[in-house]
Amino acid sequence: MKQIVLLIFLLLVGCSSSKTFRKFSKQENVAIKKYKNAVNAKDGRYHVLIVTSLGDMVLTLYNETPLHRDNFVNKVKAGFYDSLLFHRVIDKFMIQGGDPESKHAKEGAFLGSGDAPGGRIPAEFRIDKGIYHKRGVLAAARDENLEKASSNCQFYIVQRKPWRVSELDSTVVSRRLLINDDQRKIYTELGGTPHLDGEYTIYGELETGFDVLDKIAATKTTFSDRPLQDIRMKMFLLNEIKK
């Protein structure tokens, strides 16, 4: 019995140590050093670094959407997103990733249907807090379900640049959208995707890396919107890295 208890203890210590002494590549070390002290660690929000082959991005997560925030933070901590692909990229719209099936996907394989254990996350729409689909926001992908509940792992970052006023007005009419003055100002000055408001949960936004967002969005893709050259990601919770 003592031997079994000792074995379990050693296994737990080993697992804990592997997370505590996580090794970083040269590129990751440079990125962490660059962004670790750049974020406002005292703002009460989580900050997530995404390292990719096309550059780095830093996300700030919203406290107004705690279910999505906590799910994302836990997955980042666990290394869930490491080596996954941005598997769906549409220029002037958004970039999408987080499908666990993309980690070992063969060239040309169709992606986007993968999910993680745990089921959907209930929708957390915060239009009342002025959280809209402006350029750079982080939002949860989802399948077709009446509750508009989110995938617990797949996400997208809105890339659409500012709208011309006439173009926005035409879209509002054709899609029968209802937008207020704040939304109109955001979409004509910053950009975004107004037709997704109230349809998909937003739970963060880009703090830095808009140039990288545009690079990823502009990459050449297949007919299924998968980049011809794999763009992998690795994520780090900047709040908890001690370097």
Answer yes or no: is pLDDT of 208 > 60: yes
Write out the two tokens for 8: 């379990």
80's tokens: 């869930």
CATH of the domain at 208: 2.40.100.10
Question: Does a structural domain hold residue 13?
Answer: no
| Mean pLDDT across the chain | 89
* Radius of gyration of the CA atoms of the chain, in A: 19
Give CA–CA dist 153/88, Å, rounded.
Answer: 14
Q: Does 9 reside within a domain? A: no
pLDDT band at 224 (very low <50, low <70, confident <90, very high): very high
**Could you tell me if residue 108 is inside a domain?**
yes
* Mean pLDDT calculated for residue range 53-73: 97
Contacts for 26 with CB less than 8 Å, ≥ 6 apart = none
pLDDT bucket at 242, cuts 50 / 70 / 90:
low
Q: Please check the confidence at residue 39 and state whether its pLDDT lies above 80.
A: no
Q: What is the pTM of this model?
A: 0.88
Of 237, 223, 229, 215, which is closest to residue 74 (Cα–Cα)?
Answer: 237
Mean pLDDT confidence for 70-75: 97
Confidence at residue 2, expressed as pLDDT on a 0 to 100 scale: 44
**How much of the chain, in percent, has pLDDT values that exceed 70?**
89
- Residue 22 pLDDT exceeds 70: no
CA distances 26 to 30, 66, 83, 111, 212, Å, are: 6, 33, 16, 30, 19
Q: Tokens 């997560």 appear where? A: 61
Mean pLDDT (whole number) for 74-90: 96
Question: Structural domain of residue 136, as residue ranges?
Answer: 24-240
127-146 average pLDDT score: 96
Residue 84 inside a domain? The answer is yes
What's the pLDDT score for residue 84? 97
User: Does the residue 49 lie in any domain?
Assistant: yes
User: Tell me, what's the pLDDT at 241?
Assistant: 60
What is the dihedral angle through the alpha carbons of 49, 52, 54, 55, rounded to the nearest 10 degrees? 20
Residue 11 domain flag: no
| Residue 8, in any domain of the structure | no
Number of domains observed in the structure of the chain? 1
Q: Tell me: pLDDT of 7 over 60.
A: no
Q: Which of 218, 202, 86, 194 is nearest to 141 (CA)?
A: 202
Structure tokens at 174: 């054709």
The pLDDT assigned to 5 comes to: 42
Examine the pLDDT at 21 and tell me if it is beyond 70.
Answer: no
The answer to whether residue 36 sits within a structural domain is: yes
